[in-house]
Amino acid sequence: MNPIFNFLTHPNKKIFLNFLPSLFIFLIFFIIGVNVYKDYGISFDEYYHRENGKLYYYFLKGFFINLDLSEKVFISDIKTAIQDTTYTMPAIFDMIAEFYIDLKNITAIEEIFFIRHFLNFLFFFTACYLFYLILAKRFKNRVYAYLGVFFLFFSPRFFAESFYNNKDIISLSITIIFLFFSIKFFEKKSYSNAFFFGIFSALALVIRIPAIIYIFATYLMFFLQSMDDKKFISTNYKFLLASVFTTIIFVYIFWPYLWIDPVNHLVNFFKVAHNVMPNGQNYYLGEYFQYKDSPWHYDLVWILLTIPISIAFFFTIGFFKTLINAIKNLLSVDQKKHKFWKSNNEMYNYYFLIIVLLVLIVKTKFGVSYDGWRQIYFLYPFFILISLDVIYYINSKLKFRMIRNAIFLGLFLELFFLTFWIYKYHPHQYVYFNPLFKNLVSEKIELDYWGLSNRSSLEFIARSDDRNEIKIVAISFTSLENTLRIMSENDRKKFQVVHDLYSADYAIDNYRKKWNKTPGINLLKTKFKKIHDLKVDGIIINSVYKGEN
């Protein structure tokens, strides 16, 4: 019999055909990543994180080879690095990357950072797939799952940063994985679900301390569940205790700094985290603010400026709709047969609301804001979830198919716009602002704060100047030495970084907190001529000036 006929009539055919579109979508995602991961520049502090990862990795390597957990083995470099810097958290991603680099014996500096960018993308890619599974389960409709994962993957800033942001995108990715296992734990209390929930709670915590907020929110939901069900605690206490115990154990395992004298080292970490603040300024709405003095609305405005218009619109509706329902629910708590939620969907709506609300309150009240809203990027999946719930609700209530079709058409048109924008301005998607606000923020807000555009400008100089030695200087807050690490060996040999305009052949400006204190800055107008502007969506993000001999 024809094998194709056998396949099409097989009982598992429907399962396979349902799986096929998602397989195709994620294959496309992967192919995109493989083809573009070498195109990006290097962020301002990537080199530091690579060095920090090396410290931790070689400590672990030495420990497991010598099987000696002593103060001597715990090299002083790690203790010094942790005590003297703001980046006090263990470098999980950096250690994994360094393990792979060591395993493959990669020595070329540009290849090291290319590998880091690819591994960064793999974390995000994995999280996108789990987010798809969450959405498919949440809405029982694959159209919403596809929409959600498209808005995650093709949001321009997240797309770009998925290749080089080894702090905030890794935090976002781990948050999605945590969410996946927290939902499994909500649905079924068991030792296995408690174990995985505990592991990823610990991993989220050691990557970013603010993860404690959504871990707290999870246990708060369990507490509210116990208020509705008097047998909840007696039935499930052993699983809840197992999750807490697992979290504590794996925080210790994932954080080598705690392996020796965990109590004092933990106290020391919080001292460092509290006392050492990043020293710098935000350029925000045309003014400069010290990081710690940024206005309360800093993160909110950045979110509004940089996420897709559809997500911003439907999230705002969903946030207030769920908040009003939650307040009504709390006001009726004294009524007989009161329930905090009537269905799992309602419970998850409250869960997502609590997480977003707590994070925004804590960040606004106690956090330090800088470089956009990247420290709370992990909220973006919750924005998408809340937005899709509103779209799902509207479509379920609407009787007119034409209106439903118009909503989906609008969403797909925006996704097409975002995808085209990513293609057109590759690899500078990190300066995306949505069209409603782009003109309002031009020259009034930080653009390329990590200096990634420097690579494009240096490549422009390398193409247009065939000399064997070219002296370059930065006239804004950026690091050209850092950028050279991800360029080809020939280009690295060609360029020499200087720190004044008297001896420079070219000056590069990425418009980051331009302080104009570079020695000889007065020569920029008299002895240098602007020869190149790098424009993204009509906005200049980097300029090259050439000295006149």
What confidence tens digit (pLDDT) does each residue in 316-372 have?
999 999 999 999 988 888 787 788 888 889 999 999 999 999 999 999 888 888 889
What's the rounded mean pLDDT across residues 12-16? 59
What pLDDT is attached to residue 243?
A: 97
What confidence tens digit (pLDDT) does each residue in 43-82 have?
988 988 888 888 888 877 777 776 554 544 444 455 555 5
What b/e string do you get for 300-336 counting C-beta neighbours within 10 Å, with b at 16 or more? ebbbbbbbbbbbbebbebbbebbeeebeebeeeeeee
- The structure tokens listed for 404 are 């439903």
Confidence class of residue 187 from pLDDT cuts 50, 70 and 90? Answer: very high
What confidence tens digit (pLDDT) does each residue in 192-230 have?
999 999 999 999 998 988 999 999 999 999 999 998 888
- Judge whether residue 107 has pLDDT over 50: yes
- Judge whether residue 9 has pLDDT over 60: no
Question: β-pairing, 470-474 with 495-497?
Answer: parallel
For residue 519, whether the previous peptide bond is cis, meaning omega lies within 30 degrees of 0, is: no
Question: Between these two residues, 55 and 466, which has the higher pLDDT value?
Answer: 466
* Domain locations along the chain: 286-446, 454-547
What's the rounded mean pLDDT across residues 33-46? 94
- What is the separation of C-alpha 217 from the centre of its chain, rounded to a whole number of angstroms? 20
- Least confident among 5-14, 29-38, 396-405: 5-14
456 CB neighbour count, 10 Å cutoff: 18
| Residue linked to tokens 């200049």 | 540
What confidence tens digit (pLDDT) does each residue in 112-123 have?
999 999 999 999
Residue 48 CA to residue 87 CA, distance in Å, equals: 9
- Judge whether residue 88 has pLDDT over 80: no
The angle that helices 109-139 and 92-103 make with each other, rounded to 10 degrees, is 130
* Helix, strand, or coil (residue 539): strand
pTM attached to this predicted model: 0.92
What pLDDT is attached to residue 549?
A: 67
- The structure tokens listed for 175 are 């948050």
What confidence tens digit (pLDDT) does each residue in 377-421 have?
999 999 999 999 999 999 888 777 788 889 999 999 999 999 999
Phi, psi of 258 (to 5 degrees): -85, -10
What pLDDT is attached to residue 66?
A: 62
What's the rounded mean pLDDT across residues 539-546? 94
User: Which has the closest alpha carbon to 541: 448, 452, 414?
Assistant: 448
Confidence class of residue 5 from pLDDT cuts 50, 70 and 90? Answer: very low
What pLDDT is attached to residue 317?
A: 96
Confidence class of residue 12 from pLDDT cuts 50, 70 and 90? Answer: low
User: Which has the closest alpha carbon to 447: 283, 205, 234?
Assistant: 283
- Least confident among 121-130, 437-446, 523-532: 437-446
| Share of residues in the chain with pLDDT > 90 (%) | 62
What pLDDT is attached to residue 514?
A: 65
Confidence class of residue 84 from pLDDT cuts 50, 70 and 90? Answer: very low
What's the rounded mean pLDDT across residues 478-505? 92
Give the DSSP letter string of 33-101: HHHHTTS----TTHHHHHHHHHHHHHHHHHHHHHT--STTTS-HHHHHHHHHSS--S--HHHHHHHHHH
Please name the helix (run of DSSP H) or strand (run of DSSP E) that holds residue 509, with its range, or none. Answer: strand 506-509
Q: How far from 276 is each of 262, 269, 292, CA to CA, in Å?
A: 21, 10, 11
- Judge whether residue 463 has pLDDT over 70: yes
Q: Give residue 429's identity as a one-letter amino acid code.
A: Q
Confidence class of residue 86 from pLDDT cuts 50, 70 and 90? Answer: very low
Residue 298 CA to residue 371 CA, distance in Å, equals: 10
What pLDDT is attached to residue 90?
A: 57
Q: Which residues pair with 508 in a beta bridge?
A: 474, 544
What pLDDT is attached to residue 87?
A: 42
- The structure tokens listed for 188 are 């079924």
Q: Are 179 and 155 in contact (CB under 8 A)?
A: no
Question: Between these two residues, 330 and 11, which has the higher pLDDT value?
Answer: 330
Q: Are 532 and 460 in contact (CB under 8 A)?
A: yes
Cβ-based neighbours of 196, under 8 Å, separated by 6 or more: 181, 184, 185
- Judge whether residue 18 has pLDDT over 80: no
Question: Between these two residues, 263 and 486, which has the higher pLDDT value?
Answer: 486
Residue 197 CA to residue 244 CA, distance in Å, equals: 9
264 CB neighbour count, 10 Å cutoff: 10
